């Protein structure tokens, strides 16, 4: 079977979702999970766009094994050189350069002729090729480019050394039949001289359909993001396109190397890091994707699962719980369940997590896999702590103004503060701000339940801004006020870390 490469751009294009920016540690953590997922290429960032992107690309190249690590670069000499500087130590590397080709972009944005755009594209592919063997070129806004000129550009950049030519539907404009025909025309023109890739946006809700049409017509690489996040309406959803190719292998007659059993874990990690929840009815990874309420469906499923399920939940990582985790569980059961969930941790890390697990088990009747994943994620991605929560008590009532007493550790010292507020969270945040002596502004406050029941583990995400810096903090606890305090303090620690850097 023909193999389709999966090019993951969650760290680059996905990060362009409003509010989804990630720090370097979060990018490295996610890149390691993408390697577990076995994506072929990780577009780790846009090296010239910021020092943070440069550092993330470099660290991912140094620390993440398996996938090719890629940096985006405009068709400019300074971009190409910056991408090379970030990638040069990576064992497997790619430079992805691009230039617009549609008359709309050339006239109004770039203000250059078709001839000049072609000259720049060829020259910069040549420059990138002088640094790395693996070069990708994208004619931006390809689907609104006159096809004769597009074919001329594609042929020229392939001749200049591009081993992959990506055809982006930059504004989500095309349709499956139209896009499939375009990919077929490009394949006919360049044959097997380069891999044809596609990068589809979802403005009309057709990103996955367009990508599948491209594969059916000869594309060998799909560019996509976890949960379909990305600019505007997002990108082609990785989990949807991969599972479509796997489930309908009889039709597409292609394969990927994706370890589909890592899909759910990767989806949840992206949602946690970015703060962007997955809608319940989202295909593949939504909470209701494998849920059945209809009596007719339930009857069929009880008799034979394939009556109403075209995929097995186990194939995407939704494994049935084999161990019931609770306050009576021992270290052996805890360690075994973490291993079954795919976590490889040191004994020291397990001991620390076990103590936190025991405290959580005293508060909850049932511990779910999502609870364990939240504990591991919170522990392994924590920012170095300048501030930490020692204790929190709340008094509130119908006739009593909410009051929070917060005890915090700042550096090596412990401070107490009592504050009143419009509600318990407001009072808590006022006390935290007073102790930490910060001038941060709360931009957003989001609460969600990780699991079900009245004793559910609640997760709070906050967005803080200080001196133009915007960070997101996360906290999880069965007490939602404690979770809110943890989230605010996590964000303060991130602000402090950014100031140091």
- pLDDT at residue number 466: 85
Look at residue 357 in the predicted model and tell me its pLDDT. Answer: 83
Per-residue pLDDT of the chain (501 residues; tens, 9 = 90+): 899 999 999 999 998 887 788 999 999 999 999 999 999 999 999 999 999 999 999 999 999 999 999 999 999 999 999 999 999 999 999 999 999 999 999 999 999 999 999 999 999 999 999 999 999 999 999 999 999 999 999 999 999 999 999 999 999 999 999 999 999 999 999 999 999 999 999 999 999 999 999 999 999 999 999 999 999 999 999 999 999 999 999 999 999 999 999 999 999 999 989 989 899 899 999 877 776 545 455 456 557 777 767 888 888 888 643 345 667 777 777 887 788 777 878 888 888 888 888 877 777 666 777 677 777 766 665 566 889 999 999 999 888 999 999 999 999 999 999 999 999 999 999 999 999 998 888 988 988 776 666 667 777 888 888 887 778 888 888 889 999 999 999 889 888 877 766
Residue 496: in which H helix or E strand, if any?
helix 480-500
For the purposes of burial, counting CB atoms within 10 Å of the CB of 259, is it exposed (0-12), middle (13-18) or buried (19 or more)? Answer: middle
Instruction: Give me the pLDDT at residue 280, please.
Output: 85
pLDDT of 365: 63
What is residue 250's predicted lDDT score, i.e. its pLDDT?
Answer: 96
- The reported pTM is 0.76
Q: CA angle, corner 199, sides to 195 and 205, nearest 5? A: 140
- The answer to whether the CB of 237 falls within 8 A of the CB of 278 is no
- Per-residue three-class SS string for 175-221: CHHHHHHHHHHHHHHHCCCCEEEEEEECCCCCHHHHHHHHHHCCCCE
Residue 414's DSSP bridge partners are 409
Contacts (Cβ under 8 Å, ≥6 apart) of 196:
164, 165, 166, 167, 183, 186, 187, 190, 214, 218, 219, 220, 221
From the CB of residue 374, how many other CB atoms can be counted at a distance below 10 Å?
21
* pLDDT value, residue 176: 98
Contact 103, 110 (CB under 8 A): no
Q: How far apart are CA 392 and CA 389, in angstroms?
A: 8
Q: Tell me, rounded to whole angstroms, the distance of Cα 354 from its chain centroid.
A: 28
């Amino acid at each position: 079977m023909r193999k389709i490469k999966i090019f993951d751009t969650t760290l680059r294009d996905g990060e362009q979702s409003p509010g989804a920016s990630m720090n370097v540690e979060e990018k490295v953590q996610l890149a390691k999970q993408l390697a577990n997922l076995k994506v072929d290429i990780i577009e780790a960032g846009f090296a010239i766009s910021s020092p943070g992107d440069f550092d993330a690309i470099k660290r991912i190249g140094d620390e993440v094994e398996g996938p090719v690590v890629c940096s985006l670069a405009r068709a400019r000499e300074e971009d190409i050189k910056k991408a090379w500087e970030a990638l040069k130590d990576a064992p497997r590397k790619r430079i992805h350069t691009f230039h617009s080709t549609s008359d709309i972009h050339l006239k109004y944005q770039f203000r250059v002729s078709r001839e000049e755009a072609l000259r720049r594209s060829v020259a910069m592919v040549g420059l990138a090729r002088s640094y790395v063997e693996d070069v990708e070129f994208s004619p931006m806004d390809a689907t609104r480019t006159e096809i004769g000129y597009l074919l001329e550009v594609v042929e020229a950049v392939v001749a200049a050394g591009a081993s992959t030519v990506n055809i982006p539907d930059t504004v989500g404009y095309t349709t499956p039949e139209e896009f499939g025909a375009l990919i077929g025309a490009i394949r006919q023109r360049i044959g097997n001289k380069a891999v044809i890739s596609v990068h589809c946006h979802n403005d009309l809700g057709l990103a996955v359909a367009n990508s599948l049409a491209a594969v059916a017509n000869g594309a060998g690489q799909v560019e996509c993001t976890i949960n379909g996040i990305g600019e505007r309406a997002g990108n082609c959803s990785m989990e949807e396109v991969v599972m479509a190719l796997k489930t309908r292998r009889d039709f597409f007659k292609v394969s990927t190397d994706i370890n589909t059993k890592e899909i759910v874990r990767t989806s949840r990690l992206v949602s946690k890091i970015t703060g962007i929840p997955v809608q319940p009815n989202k295909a593949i990874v939504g909470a209701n994707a494998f849920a059945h309420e209809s009596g007719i469906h339930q009857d069929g499923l009880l008799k034979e699962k394939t009556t109403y399920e075209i995929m097995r939940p186990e194939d995407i990582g939704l494994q049935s719980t084999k161990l019931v985790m609770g306050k009576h569980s021992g270290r052996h059961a805890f360690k075994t369940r973490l291993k079954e969930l795919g976590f490889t941790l040191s004994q020291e890390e397990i001991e620390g997590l076990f103590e936190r697990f025991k405290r959580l088990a005293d508060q909850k009747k049932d511990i779910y896999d999502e609870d364990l994943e939240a504990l591991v994620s919170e522990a392994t991605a924590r920012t170095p702590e300048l501030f930490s929560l020692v204790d929190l008590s709340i008094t509130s009532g119908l006739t009593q103004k909410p009051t929070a007493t917060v005890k915090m550790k700042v550096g090596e010292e412990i401070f107490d503060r009592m504050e009143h507020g419009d509600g318990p969270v407001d009072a808590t945040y006022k006390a935290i701000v007073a102790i930490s002596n910060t001038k941060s502004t709360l931009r957003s406050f989001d609460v969600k339940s990780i699991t079900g029941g009245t004793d559910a583990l609640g997760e709070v995400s906050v967005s803080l801004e200080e001196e133009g810096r915007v960070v997101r903090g996360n906290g999880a606890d069965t007490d939602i006020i404690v979770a809110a305090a943890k989230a605010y303090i996590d964000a303060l620690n991130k602000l402090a870390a950014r100031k140091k850097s």
